[in-house]
């Protein structure tokens, strides 16, 4: 029996802890996250977008995998250009702003069960710096502080020609919820307006300035009425408003300061609770009920941003590491679902995303590589295809046998086995053959035995395979 070379995350003299400190400089640090309904999206400093969790309705925007109900580890959307920011409606539809100011979309398609929209650019949009979306209609913040809006046809999936929202200028942040939009301007004032599509055209109420608020530096919306913001001294404010029958906006709850003892950097609102990130990098959860105090989330330090989903939460620390906690039945937290109740009651670091390059190019695969027991395992069929090989399966009473053909070399193996046969000669595998999210996974070191050059960069978490 021949011993297979082991390709693992410890193949470098530098430890994972040491290499993590350099992730920000290398671009692998996460800078933004979005917790959707049972799924998650993350943006890294290098502009790449990664997604994980439920894919039952095509939420992840991954081609040809709507039959796969969820992704257990972050998978890269390789057809997107480098992005500067991302946004989600929370229910499967995402937008992103590319570094050239164009807008891209991906995710579930309304009206189409289990279909996905792979990443594509939206026409007629340029010079955009930020977006927010309710899927049916979306809004973009121009680099000049103006606001544009467009509709999405629920049948064709096409977007309308963008139009300008009048009455707004010098806007620096947009937030949307239900049928209304909040806009924060450079002076710290908050403007609110509603949108409707009664005749299949976009109509906006006249934006009104919310009175009684100090100058704010960040805002977050929750549902049809409530909104939150952080002022420049670190206080959190809440206000509520409705649309009167005349079409004008009416403030029905005056702005009030909440949790005044905390010095807050950012607030992230969700249904029934909010996350407060303090200036010290702590995270606090608050249910908004009178007389109740915010509760500190233990195990988090130096947090710089977060996202509050309906059932799970995400946070990013100063090194760009993402932590998740809450419901994890669909792997949305970023780790494999546990065998118990599917909950992660304390924050856990998500599985480190792994980039795969084949012959120097990104692997156009819909399945992620995974670090399993300190060994990198990869989707064998996708890699074989890019190398010019093939993978076939044959089923007998003894089970399913897989045959990997690469050039003149044949490798056979079975699920669950830590052995493979190359040209009939038995060899050990550094990790058993497994199936994850419908993909057959083998140790990356197997391709080294086939004559390929296999390199692992622990700093970039990047696997490179060069064909022979």
Cβ-proximal residues to 269 (8 Å cutoff; 6+ apart), any chain: 220, 221, 222, 226, 227, 228, 308
Domain co-membership, 319 together with 415: no
**Side-by-side strand order, sheet with 249-258:** 216-221, 226-231, 236-243, 249-258
Q: Which pLDDT score is estimated for 252?
A: 63
Cα–Cα distance measured from residue 79 to residue 101, given in angstroms and rounded to the nearest whole number: 17
**Secondary-structure breakdown of the chain: helix, strand, coil percentages, each rounded to the nearest 5:** 5, 50, 45
Domain co-membership, 296 together with 361: no
Tally of domains within the chain: 2
Domain co-membership, 368 together with 436: yes
Q: Which residue has the higher pLDDT, 113 or 378?
A: 378
Residue 428, CA atoms < 13 Å, CB-side half-sphere:
8
| Any domain includes 252 | yes
Q: What is the pLDDT of residues 210-225, one digit of tens each?
A: 989 999 999 999 776 7
Domain co-membership, 305 together with 433: no
- Mean pLDDT to the nearest integer, 449-465: 95
In this structure, the strands spanning 355-358 and 462-466 are: parallel
As beta bridge partners, residue 348 has 324
Domain co-membership, 377 together with 341: no
| Any domain includes 12 | no
Scan for tokens 């939009």, then name that residue.
181
Cβ-proximal residues to 15 (8 Å cutoff; 6+ apart), any chain: none
Q: What is the pLDDT of residues 96-142, one digit of tens each?
A: 999 999 999 999 987 676 788 999 999 999 999 999 998 789 999 99
| Any domain includes 4 | no
Last residue of a domain, one of 306, 321, 349: 349
Q: Which pLDDT score is estimated for 438?
A: 86
| Any domain includes 14 | no
| Any domain includes 218 | yes
Q: What is the DSSP letter of 16?
A: H
Segments forming the whole domain that contains residue 330? 21-349
Cα–Cα distance measured from residue 167 to residue 181, given in angstroms and rounded to the nearest whole number: 13
| Any domain includes 32 | yes
| Any domain includes 1 | no
pLDDT at 354 over 90: yes
| Any domain includes 8 | no
Q: What is the pLDDT of residues 222-245, one digit of tens each?
A: 776 789 999 999 999 999 876 655
Domain co-membership, 196 together with 310: yes
Q: Domain containing 385 — which CATH number?
A: 3.30.457.10
Q: Domain containing 58 — which CATH number?
A: 2.130.10.30
Last residue of a domain, one of 304, 323, 349: 349
pLDDT at 5 over 50: no
Domain co-membership, 384 together with 324: no
- Mean pLDDT to the nearest integer, 388-406: 92
Last residue of a domain, one of 299, 314, 349: 349
Domain co-membership, 330 together with 215: yes
pLDDT at 10 over 80: no
Query: CB–CB of 44/74 below 8 Å?
Result: no
Cα–Cα distance measured from residue 26 to residue 33, given in angstroms and rounded to the nearest whole number: 18
Domain co-membership, 214 together with 263: yes
Domain co-membership, 196 together with 316: yes
Sorting pLDDT into bands at 50, 70 and 90, what band is 250? low
pLDDT exceeding 90 applies to what percent of the chain?
A: 75
Domain co-membership, 288 together with 385: no
CA distances from 155 to 61, 66, 149, 160, 332 (A): 18, 19, 19, 13, 29
Cα–Cα distance measured from residue 158 to residue 175, given in angstroms and rounded to the nearest whole number: 23
Domain co-membership, 369 together with 453: yes
């Amino acid at each position: 029996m021949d011993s297979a070379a082991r390709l693992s995350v410890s193949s470098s003299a530098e430890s994972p802890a040491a290499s993590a400190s350099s992730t920000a400089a290398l671009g692998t640090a996460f800078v933004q996250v979005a917790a959707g309904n049972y799924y998650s999206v993350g943006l890294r400093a290098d502009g790449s977008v990664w997604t994980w969790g439920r894919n039952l309705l095509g939420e992840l925007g991954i081609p040809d995998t709507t039959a796969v109900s969820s992704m257990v580890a972050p998978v890269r959307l390789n057809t997107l250009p480098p992005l500067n920011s991302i946004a989600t409606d929370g229910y499967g539809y995402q937008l992103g702003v590319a570094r050239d100011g164009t807008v891209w979309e991906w995710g579930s398609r309304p009206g189409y069960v289990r279909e996905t929209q792979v990443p594509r650019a939206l026409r007629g949009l340029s010079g955009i710096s930020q977006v927010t979306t309710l899927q049916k209609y979306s809004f973009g913040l121009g680099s000049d502080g103006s606001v544009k809006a467009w509709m999405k046809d629920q049948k064709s999936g096409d977007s309308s020609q963008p139009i300008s929202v009048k009455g707004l200028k010098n806007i620096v942040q947009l937030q949307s919820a239900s049928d209304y939009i909040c806009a924060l301007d450079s002076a710290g004032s908050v403007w609110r307006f509603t949108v409707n599509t009664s005749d299949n055209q976009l109509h906006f109420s006249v934006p009104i300035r919310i009175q009684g608020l100090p100058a704010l530096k960040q805002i977050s919306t929750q549902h049809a009425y409530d909104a939150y913001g952080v002022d420049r001294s670190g206080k959190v404010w809440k206000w509520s408003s409705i649309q009167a029958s005349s079409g004008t906006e009416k403030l029905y709850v005056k702005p009030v300061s909440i949790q005044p003892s905390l010095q807050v950097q950012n607030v992230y609102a969700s249904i029934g609770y909010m996350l407060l990130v303090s200036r010290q990098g702590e995270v606090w959860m608050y249910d908004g009920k009178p007389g109740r105090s915010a509760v500190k989330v233990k195990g988090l330090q130096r947090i710089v941003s977060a996202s509050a989903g309906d059932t799970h939460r995400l946070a990013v620390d100063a090194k760009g590491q993402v932590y998740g906690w809450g419901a994890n039945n669909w792997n949305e937290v970023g780790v494999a679902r546990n065998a118990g109740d599917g909950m992660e009651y304390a924050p856990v670091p998500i599985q480190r995303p792994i980039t795969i390059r084949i012959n120097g190019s990104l692997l156009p695969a819909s399945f992620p590589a995974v670090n399993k027991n300190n060994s990198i395992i990869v989707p064998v069929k996708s890699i074989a295809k890019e190398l010019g090989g093939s993978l076939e399966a044959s089923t007998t009473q003894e089970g399913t046998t897989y045959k990997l053909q690469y050039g003149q070399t044949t490798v056979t193996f079975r699920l669950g086995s830590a052995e493979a046969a190359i040209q009939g000669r038995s060899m050990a595998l550094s990790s058993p053959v497994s199936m994850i999210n419908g993909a057959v996974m083998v140790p990356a070191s197997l391709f080294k035995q086939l004559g390929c050059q296999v390199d692992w960069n622990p700093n970039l978490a990047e696997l490179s395979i060069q064909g022979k």
